[in-house]
Amino acid sequence: MQNKLVILIAFIFCITNVYARKEIHLYGTVTDTTGAPLSFTDIVIQDCNLKIMADVKGKYDIKVPRRKKVWFIWSHYIPHKMRARKSGEYNVVLKEPANL
- Residue pLDDT, tens place only, 22-78: 899 999 999 999 999 999 999 999 888 889 999 999 999 999 999 999 999 999 999
Q: Is a pLDDT exceeding 80 seen at residue 19?
A: no
Computed on alpha carbons and rounded to an integer, the radius of gyration of the chain in Å comes to 19
How confident is the model over 73-95, as a mean pLDDT?
Answer: 95
**Phi, psi of 31, rounded to the nearest 5 degrees:** -130, 170
Asked if 77 contacts 95 with a C-beta cutoff of 8 angstroms, the reply is yes
Reported residue count of the chain is: 100
- pTM of structure: 0.75
- Domains plus CATH for the chain? 23-94 (2.60.40.1120)
What pLDDT shows up at residue 49? 83
User: What is the amino acid identity at position 33?
Assistant: T
